[in-house]
Amino acid sequence: MKQSWILVLSAALAAPAAWAQAPQPNPAEAKKTFVADLVGRMTLEEKIGQLRLISIGPDMPIAQLADEITAGHVGGTFNSVNRPDNRRLQDAAMKTRLKIPMFFAYDVIHGHRTTFPIGLGLASTWDMASVERMARTAAREAAADSIDMTFAPMVDISRDPRWGRTSEGFGEDPYLVSQIARATVQGFQGPQRPLAADRIMASVKHFALYGAVEGGRDYNAVDMSPMRMYQDYLPPYKAAIDAGAGGVMVALNSINGVPATSNTWLMQDLLRRDWGFKGVTVSDHGAIVELTRHGVARDEREAAKLAIRAGIDMSMADSVYWKELPGLVRSGEVPMQQIDNAVTEVLGAKYDMGLFKNPYLRIGAAKDDPADLKADSRLDRPAAREVARQSLVLLENRNGTLPLSRKASIALVGPLADAPIDMLGSWSAAGYDKLAVTLRAGLNAAIGQGGRVTYARGANITGDEAIVKYLNFLNWDAPEVTQDPRTPAEMIQEAVRVAQQSDVIVAAVGEARGMSHESSSRTSLDLPQSQRDLITALKATGKPLVLVLMNGRPLALQREQKEADAILETWYAGTEGGNAISDVLFGDYNPSGKLPISFPRSVGQIPTYYNHARLGRPFTEGKPGNYTSQYFEEVTGPLYPFGYGLSYTDFALSDVVLSSPTMERGGQIEAAVTVRNTGRRAGETVVQLYIQDVAASVVRPVKELKGFRKLMLQPGEERVLRFPITEEQLKFFNARLEHVAEPGRFNVQIGLDSQAVREQGFELR
């Protein structure tokens, strides 16, 4: 960025004077003029039509949708994901008086045709180039399917793994999630404005605080102190907006008593005024009508009024704006200016998508339409595999159980060992399960001469038929959780027999993807009993036991930690998941993933986030004592902390060396640490920088992530890493919500996870 600025500047300096004086078209002004002119020529009905974002679906078949568009009742659509359909809809738009193009949106969350790991998996890479690669690849593929906008990134901080949508997000830490927010927006949108034909507009969601629903129960209310909001939950949305996200999707929840969808403070004061957001806002699915159920609107008319006044530009998946706004404008309850503001943003977004220059920019010509949308040749398998390998987190590895020998005979068991749909995870957009590599397929492809993989399912996902029914009732196209009709005992017997005849057991256990999804909150973080029984029976064989976990949230793994010799957390690793996991199991790739979220010991410990507040009576490991902050029935603190993950090699960190014991106001110091690969394999690790504010005007967290670096080291190689520390990184929101750094002592902590750190202090003067 900086470099290209310098190049532009030096080119300008070198240019002849006439060049400098020639009137330069200002892109922002050109857009403003274009949009204002168009708005000036629109009727009220045409304007309101633009505010309606509607989904193609059973209630709205394509022919009806096309008619609605031609009648000027629709501004954009979502869920149609092929060029012929969207061409037909765009043709319909071109029949309207002003020929204002449609845009086509879709949930492109962790890939499009190529499915990458779910959000938690992407975050586990701690590799922004990989995250950006996912978004760039997804944008290219979605744009090739005529999509202009995605409802992503989803950057809701989640500290409660009971919430099913934890899977979609990037974990618990504001700094890490903000970095990912930036990388995804850049990857989706690219640098060009209007967007290039192979990029799509990002709309960050769910604004705001959706991840803090009470009790982790989806759609529940959010109640939060302003300080926590500003400090911990809002930064990722802000980061996405600062990175240029063209859209914002508004959350379904209420915030301190006011639904986000009618929240003038959130949408106007914070988003537009304080943050300077210039882009389009869309409601979540049906959220405007839901204002009546929140009990803040007496009817849909009032709901529409509240939402448009709050600053919701487009209403998703309902007709409430279309039905109610004309009357509200005529009665003077909604000023025309408010409609103009909303329509200006919608048209501005279409301008930025490049659709006014070419409404068919991403639809292309019929002759170029792909013959088979689901063709394997449309996937970027190398990208999916490389990113997926990095997303796997090695939680345990006793006695060097892993990596496995290719000559080993492997008993592959578990309900997720051969489950293509679950490899994709939820919100896998246009991913196609038949193209997904299961663990079984991955191991079979990689096993060597003399080795063998024998499969037995061993258990169903759950023995609870009510849960199966619920999971199959979620809005999938077809039932996803299929039950083996054999009895649990029969299945376990078979698995044990296979295990006894093998050198090592690999058990793929966890959650069906629907268990970690929207509307899939849990009261337990345990593996379902059917799978626990399987693991216990496998353990009893005495064979080395490797658990390959597939799940979309931290699970409570105390029991499994004791039973297993090795545990690999794979989340839902995507199209190339099976190959990526095999790469790690056989040691072709040395695992480097780190947890972006803490794993509690039990559900009762939630929340277990690492950056919790300092306390008057903290629990101190080793000297617990009475009257300290703890649960007395089990060990206090997470089972696996934030930032944790093992490698097949070992790394040693030196003490932290600071360039100065003091920092002047506005100054900068440097923290240096030497990292050494002390093992016998090449490997990557993530060196993490945390800062603790020792004493401040308000209670501050025990520590906060402020930087990290992923690096590869050969055996015996060492490298000095230098982290700049600026006053900016010491800032926090004080009791008056001012963003300040207060003088005094700070501790710099550097480690390979959030717990095992080396520390050095300095003074801000």
Closer residue to ligand BGC, CB minimum distance, 104 or 151: 151
* Footprint on residues 204-233 left by ligand BGC (CB under 6 A): 205
Question: Is residue 748 a contact partner of residue 725, using CB atoms and an 8 Å limit?
Answer: yes
Question: How many residues of this chain interact with ligand BGC, rule: CB under 6 A?
Answer: 6
Compute, in degrees rounded to 10, the torsion defined by CA atoms 232, 238, 242, 243.
Answer: 80
Identity of the amino acid at 155: V
Strands (E), 565-661: 566-569, 651-653, 657-658
CB of 538 to ligand BGC, least distance (A): 38
CB of 742 to ligand BGC, least distance (A): 38
Closer residue to ligand BGC, CB minimum distance, 133 or 205: 205
Compute, in degrees rounded to 10, the torsion defined by CA atoms 353, 359, 363, 364.
Answer: -110
Closer residue to ligand BGC, CB minimum distance, 170 or 642: 170
Q: Please list, in sequence order, all residues whose beta carbon lies within 8 angstroms of the beta carbon of residue 698, skipping any fewer than 6 positions away.
A: 227, 732, 734, 735
Closer residue to ligand BGC, CB minimum distance, 107 or 345: 107
136: tokens are 């760039």
Burial of 603 (0-12, 13-18, 19+ CB in 10 A): middle
Identity of the amino acid at 520: S
Instruction: List the beta bridge partners of residue 183.
Output: none
Closer residue to ligand BGC, CB minimum distance, 154 or 557: 154
For the chain, how many residues are written?
765
Tokens 């990113």 locate to: 387
CB of 209 to ligand BGC, least distance (A): 14
Other beta carbons within 10 Å of 22: 8
Q: Give the three-state DSSP class for 420.
A: helix
Q: Does 480 bind ligand BGC (CB under 6 A)?
A: no
Question: Is residue 440 a contact partner of residue 420, using CB atoms and an 8 Å limit?
Answer: no
Position among 173, 232, 284, 380 found at the interface with ligand BGC (CB under 6 A):
284
CB of 446 to ligand BGC, least distance (A): 36
Position among 103, 104, 126, 151 found at the interface with ligand BGC (CB under 6 A):
151
Closer residue to ligand BGC, CB minimum distance, 473 or 631: 473
* 86 to 79, 185, 371: CA distances (angstroms): 10, 24, 16
CB of 283 to ligand BGC, least distance (A): 10
Q: Which of 610, 606, 605, 684 is nearest to 641 (CA)?
A: 610
Question: Is residue 181 a contact partner of residue 119, using CB atoms and an 8 Å limit?
Answer: no
The distance of Cα 336 from the centroid of its chain, to the nearest Å, equals 37
Query: How far is 108 from 473, CA to CA, in rounded Å?
Result: 23
Burial of 535 (0-12, 13-18, 19+ CB in 10 A): buried
* 116 to 24, 255, 384, 511: CA distances (angstroms): 42, 32, 5, 18
Binding mask 408-437 for ligand BGC (x = CB under 6 A): ------------------------------
CB of 151 to ligand BGC, least distance (A): 4
Closer residue to ligand BGC, CB minimum distance, 313 or 518: 518
Query: How far is 544 from 564, CA to CA, in rounded Å?
Result: 8
CB of 169 to ligand BGC, least distance (A): 11
Position among 127, 518, 583, 693 found at the interface with ligand BGC (CB under 6 A):
518
DSSP character for 288? T
- Considering the candidates 156, 284, 313, 583, report the single residue annotated as catalytic: 284
Closer residue to ligand BGC, CB minimum distance, 122 or 328: 122
Binding mask 292-331 for ligand BGC (x = CB under 6 A): ----------------------------------------
* 265 to 256, 333, 549, 737: CA distances (angstroms): 11, 19, 42, 15
CB of 110 to ligand BGC, least distance (A): 13
* Footprint on residues 542-581 left by ligand BGC (CB under 6 A): none
Q: Which of 563, 572, 553 is nearest to 531 (CA)?
A: 563
CB of 473 to ligand BGC, least distance (A): 16
Query: How far is 430 from 207, CA to CA, in rounded Å?
Result: 24
Known catalytic residue: 565? no
CB of 107 to ligand BGC, least distance (A): 5
b/e sequence 39-59, b meaning 16+ C-beta within 10 Å? beebeeebbbbbbbbbbbeee
Closer residue to ligand BGC, CB minimum distance, 247 or 442: 247
Q: Which residue sits closest to ligand BGC, CB atoms considered?
A: 151
Closer residue to ligand BGC, CB minimum distance, 338 or 516: 516
Q: Please list, in sequence order, all residues whose beta carbon lies within 8 angstroms of the beta carbon of residue 661, skipping any fewer than 6 positions away.
A: 761, 762, 763
Question: Is residue 175 a contact partner of residue 704, using CB atoms and an 8 Å limit?
Answer: yes
CB of 761 to ligand BGC, least distance (A): 43
Q: Give the three-state DSSP class for 77.
A: strand
Question: Is residue 105 a contact partner of residue 355, using CB atoms and an 8 Å limit?
Answer: no
CB of 221 to ligand BGC, least distance (A): 16
Closer residue to ligand BGC, CB minimum distance, 57 or 335: 57
CB of 74 to ligand BGC, least distance (A): 16
Position among 228, 285, 309, 709 found at the interface with ligand BGC (CB under 6 A):
285
Closer residue to ligand BGC, CB minimum distance, 205 or 238: 205
* Footprint on residues 4-63 left by ligand BGC (CB under 6 A): none
690: tokens are 């945390």
Tokens 């060097």 locate to: 400
Closer residue to ligand BGC, CB minimum distance, 119 or 638: 119
Identity of the amino acid at 151: F
Query: How far is 75 from 346, CA to CA, in rounded Å?
Result: 8
Question: Is residue 711 a contact partner of residue 684, using CB atoms and an 8 Å limit?
Answer: yes
Binding mask 90-119 for ligand BGC (x = CB under 6 A): -----------------x------------
Tokens 């008993």 locate to: 411
Which residues make up the interface to ligand BGC (CB under 6 A)?
A: 107, 151, 205, 284-285, 518
Q: Which residues are catalytic?
A: 284
